[in-house]
A = this chain, B = another copy of it.
């Protein structure tokens, strides 16, 4: 295990423990809802988004421990988006990280409401943490920043266009727009929030957010490629699903070889950006390599 892999493992342990403290107990009313929220959140996620909040906060000179709970809000949002994307009316996926999706394990009505509750809980967490009067203006700004990233002009907008693009002719402009909105916006919010909590200037915050947006694009390109090249065991879901569903993906638009070349090119550019943000080699740079090379 590399030093960065050890860091990731430790981050996941700390974040999982915080998520466990933040989420209502499965014994609290309404029990079935809370059980399903926990089923969805503790389903083997890699916690990339909360980790990025903490890494960006540290790189920007802030205290990563102070932003632990706030970072977890990003994982709640990510989980909500997966649950709603998986619904029968949307992507109709039955398997996620090797387990039945929420609407299969519970039912469709509950899956809709679990997503709603997790999205809402994210803002309860951001409104409460980091605690203390000094952080209050940043808490309000964090709610605004996240909501703008994941709303109709961001993540949800990307999901709408992704559905509209499904089955249509491959289109480069549209592909770029969908990937930026659907994946880039939330990851850009993660790095942007980390910098915001560190108290950087607006222009430095914008640099961190822009890096995250492009890292999200890298993430999505890698995901598109893996859907073509991965196995069911390594993916935790059915491979080839994008192509058979007529999804707009990098391989559909550029072919596999050019998609790989573009992935490598973007990874190089991002490694350079990470060095600028961190003042040398650091965990954000290592994250770029991790995303570009991840095997699932």
Query: Which residues of A are at the interface with B, using a C-beta cutoff of 8 A?
Result: 24, 28-30, 32-34, 37, 80, 84, 87, 89-90, 107-110, 112-113, 115-117, 119-124, 126-128, 133, 136-137, 139-148, 150-153, 156-157, 159-161, 163-164, 177
Contact = CB atoms under 8 A, between A and B. Distances in A.
A152 B90 contact: no
Contacts of A37: 152
A185 to B, nearest CB: 11
Contact of A160 (B30, B119, B159): B30
A79 to B, nearest CB: 13
What 6 pairs across the A-B complex have the smallest Cβ distances?
A127-B144, A124-B147, A127-B143, A139-B140, A136-B137, A89-B108
B160 A32 contact: yes
Q: How many copies does the complex hold?
A: 2
Contacts of A89: 107-109, 112
A160 B121 CA distance: 16
Contacts of A159: 113
A116 B110 CA distance: 15
A160 B116 CA distance: 11
Contacts of A123: 123, 143-144, 146-147
Contact of A153 (B28, B80, B113, B133): B28
Contacts of A142: 127
Nearest to A140: B139
Contact of A143 (B33, B143, B160): B143
Contacts of A137: 133, 136-137, 140
A18 to B, nearest CB: 17
Contacts of A177: 29
A22 to B, nearest CB: 12
A143 B139 contact: yes
Given A113-B84, A160-B32, A121 B108 contact: no
